[in-house]
Amino acid sequence: MKILVLNSGSSSIKFKLLQMPLEKMICSGMVERIGYEDAILSIKKDEINIQETVPIKSHREGLSIIVSYLTHPEKGVIKNPQDIFAVGHRVVHGGDSFAETTLINGAVKDEINYYSALAPLHNPPNLEGIEIAEKLFPTAKQVAVFDTAFYQTMPVKARKYAIPNTFYTEDNIKVYGFHGTSHKYVSEKAIKYLGRETSKIISVHLGNGCSMTAIVNGKSVDHSLGFAPSNGLVMGSRSGDIDHSVIFHLVDGLGYSLNEVKQLLNKKSGMLGLTGSSDLRDIQAKAEEGDKNCQLALEMNAYRIKKYIGSYTAVMNGLDALIFTAGIGENSSLIRKLTCLDMDYLGIKLDSVKNEKRSNVLREINTDSSQVKILVIPTNEELEIAKQVFNLIS
Ligand code: ADP
């Protein structure tokens, strides 16, 4: 069964075509810079990498180009769109309506549209991707996999903000959580690896967006992102935790408009605001050359992760495994080292030699005497989506 996984964002569409249940990747790629004359189409198949700069005006055009590549008589991988049995769509916000992966119908689309108010950057392009895919793959089952679904198990005490109750009950202001597909995927791998019936796990997803989830027996009990994907850790260009009085001072005291503050905290802060770059590779290189801002930013980054490890270990009353995943978590031995430094009180002891080794499969990087397993687990959100789609429809 061929399943196409689509992640339709505001200016890009990422896709992966998988053969399920073999979990074999047939082809992957993306179109970026949709809306520009110099949009970029990249396709990866076996050892072949194609990259072309082409004008792509809209998501519809972007997805049509992807389909024409997939069905190309010589270079393509399927004969016609009917060969795709199902399309799995990543949908960022499903609010409280969706605790599970769901077959898409009109009512589901209405709900996704309803939650656009809470995820204005994500849900509208997700929905657009669904509507275009329905036209381009009319025989395929369309399935939505929600980033927020994994957090439906969080207790109310962790989901509710300490503001008047009606904002929770009537206005739906609460912690929704994000990166759920990634945290679910890596924590399930960890649970299998631990081979125990019960487990207390902290999953640390460090990409451009960063988040942490506390997971007891496979169910999330707390999470660092909140109502929107802006709380918690220091991210590529987002500040993470910040005293809300700063926002009032920026507006009332320093004369910034609310929109400027939004841009500032979401697009110009985090590692970018601290160092001038949001790419951790640049920051690490400059820190090595002695750049003080970069050195401090790396320390701040790891310090924030450490604080969350401490609080999640406390709320779970223990910790069996700490997972690092995504671009930074999988690749930056420095961030892992700074984070795990002086954590032996909590039973976390990093093996500095194992930490430096590279691999693209699950690996353990703790010392033999460490009470807590420290695991680096490559995430694969598309595979997780394909698995969930396959389970639903088979
Ligand atoms: P997203 O999916 O959220 O866009 P990724 O998971 O791809 O992000 O992670 C992007 C981050 O990973 C960037 O900050 C990048 O610098 C970092 N990264 C990628 N490779 C490495 C590496 N070898 N060493 C350190 N950081 C890396």
pLDDT in tens, 318-361: 999 999 999 999 999 999 999 999 999 999 999 999 999 999 89
Q: Which residue has the tokens 């687990």?
A: 377
Whether residue 120 is predicted with pLDDT greater than 90 in this model: the reply is: no
Q: Do 113 and 223 touch, CB atoms closer than 8 A?
A: no
pLDDT score at 10: 79
CA angle at 92 for the pair 78 and 23, rounded to the nearest 5°: 35
Count CA atoms within 13 Å of residue 106 on its CB side: 0
Domain boundaries defined on the chain: 2-151, 180-376
Count CA atoms within 13 Å of residue 258 on its CB side: 1
Whether residue 117 is predicted with pLDDT greater than 90 in this model: the reply is: no
pLDDT score at 328: 96
Q: Do 319 and 214 touch, CB atoms closer than 8 A?
A: no
For range 254-264, the mean pLDDT: 96
- Is 374 marked as binding a ligand? no
CA angle at 45 for the pair 386 and 128, rounded to the nearest 5°: 50
Average pLDDT of the chain to the nearest whole number: 95
Report d(CA 305, CA 335) in Å as an integer: 10
pLDDT score at 257: 98
Q: Which residue has the tokens 């694969």?
A: 380
Task: Determine which one of 147, 243, 252, 368 is catalytic.
Answer: 147
**What spacing in Å lies between the alpha carbon of 330 and ligand 1's midpoint?**
8
CA 217, 218, 219, 224 torsion-angle sign: positive
Q: Do 94 and 72 touch, CB atoms closer than 8 A?
A: no
Q: Ligand 1 pocket, 328 CB below 6 A?
A: yes
Of the listed ranges 162-166, 249-253, 357-361, the least confidently predicted one is 357-361
Pocket test for ligand 1, best of 7, 206, 281 (most atoms within 8 A of CB): 281
Same fold, 2-151 and 180-376: yes
Q: Is the peptide bond before 21 cis (omega within 30 degrees of 0)?
A: yes
pLDDT in tens, 275-297: 999 999 999 999 999 999 999 99
Using alpha carbons, list the distances in angstroms from residue 344 to 19, 269, 310, 331, 341. 44, 32, 12, 23, 8
DSSP, res 350: B
**What spacing in Å lies between the alpha carbon of 326 and ligand 1's midpoint?**
7
Buried b (16+ CB within 10 A) or exposed e, 329-345: bbbbbbbbebbbeebee
Whether residue 121 is predicted with pLDDT greater than 90 in this model: the reply is: no
**What spacing in Å lies between the alpha carbon of 208 and ligand 1's midpoint?**
7
Whether residue 74 is predicted with pLDDT greater than 90 in this model: the reply is: no
Q: What CATH number labels 180-376? A: 3.30.420.40
Strand order in the sheet with 48-54: 48-54, 39-45, 24-32, 13-19, 2-8, 84-91, 141-146, 102-103
Whether residue 46 is predicted with pLDDT greater than 90 in this model: the reply is: no
Whether residue 389 is predicted with pLDDT greater than 90 in this model: the reply is: yes
Q: What is the pTM of this model?
A: 0.92
Report d(CA 369, CA 351) in Å as an integer: 10
**What spacing in Å lies between the alpha carbon of 280 and ligand 1's midpoint?**
7
Q: Is residue 9 very low, low, confident or very high in pLDDT (cuts 50, 70, 90)?
A: confident
pLDDT score at 21: 97
Pocket test for ligand 1, best of 32, 332, 333, 357 (most atoms within 8 A of CB): 332
Whether residue 48 is predicted with pLDDT greater than 90 in this model: the reply is: no
- What DSSP string runs through 81-96? GGGEEEEEEEES--TT
Q: Do 187 and 154 touch, CB atoms closer than 8 A?
A: no
Q: Is residue 365 very low, low, confident or very high in pLDDT (cuts 50, 70, 90)?
A: very high
- Is 7 marked as binding a ligand? yes
**306 Cβ contact partners less than 8 Å away, ≥ 6 residues apart:** 339, 343
Q: Do 97 and 73 touch, CB atoms closer than 8 A?
A: no
CA 315, 320, 326, 327 torsion-angle sign: positive
Report d(CA 80, CA 143) in Å as an integer: 20
Q: Is residue 180 very low, low, confident or very high in pLDDT (cuts 50, 70, 90)?
A: very high
Report d(CA 108, CA 135) in Å as an integer: 17
Q: Ligand 1 pocket, 181 CB below 6 A?
A: no
Report d(CA 6, CA 8) in Å as an integer: 6
- 147 in catalytic set: yes
Report d(CA 152, CA 35) in Å as an integer: 35
Q: Do 13 and 62 touch, CB atoms closer than 8 A?
A: yes
Residue 218 or 117, more confident: 218
Amino acid identity for residue 365 in this structure:
I
**CATH superfamily for domain 2-151:** ATPase, nucleotide binding domain (3.30.420.40)
pLDDT score at 255: 98
